[in-house]
């Protein structure tokens, strides 16, 4: 039960990332969230939208796994692992903050799922 709550929170985070990256990237909330100038955001808007779409797929996979209940165990493991790997890569290449915002919650959910 606790694992599913964490998984739902990770999915919600990725829906939030989708919105920030696809729709708010060059707007004040997106500029603040990613600490960038309007000029840089305008130049990278298409790349951010693509990144946001991938975050949406991660959220969709987690929600799919949750919707299947116990039968979704393998799906939840797969998509949580994808989130952890993406978070580790993002922390290594973009910002250490990604480790705590993305990878850590997914790792906690994955650990609880595997222990349960």
- The three-state DSSP-derived secondary structure of 14-55 is HHHHHHHHHCCCCCHHHHHHHCCCHHHHHHHHHHHHHHHHHH
97 vs 74: CA distance, rounded Å:
28
Confidence of residue 32 (pLDDT cuts 50, 70, 90): very high
Sorted by where each begins, the domain ranges of the chain are 2-115
* pLDDT at res. 27: 96
pLDDT tens-digit profile of 60-99?
Answer: 999 999 999 999 999 999 999 999 999 999 999 999 999 9
């Amino acid at each position: 039960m606790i694992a599913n709550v964490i998984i739902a929170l990770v999915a919600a985070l990725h829906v939030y990332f989708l919105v920030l990256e696809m729709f708010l990237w060059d707007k004040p909330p997106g500029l603040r969230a990613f600490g960038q100038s309007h000029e840089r955001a305008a130049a990278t808007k298409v790349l951010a939208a693509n990144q946001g779409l991938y975050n949406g797929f991660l959220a969709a996979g987690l929600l799919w796994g949750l919707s299947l209940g116990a039968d979704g165990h393998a799906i939840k493991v797969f998509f949580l692992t994808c989130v952890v790997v993406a978070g580790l890569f993002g922390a290594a290449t973009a910002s250490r903050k990604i480790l705590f915002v993305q990878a850590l919650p997914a790792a906690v959910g994955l650990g609880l799922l595997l222990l349960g």
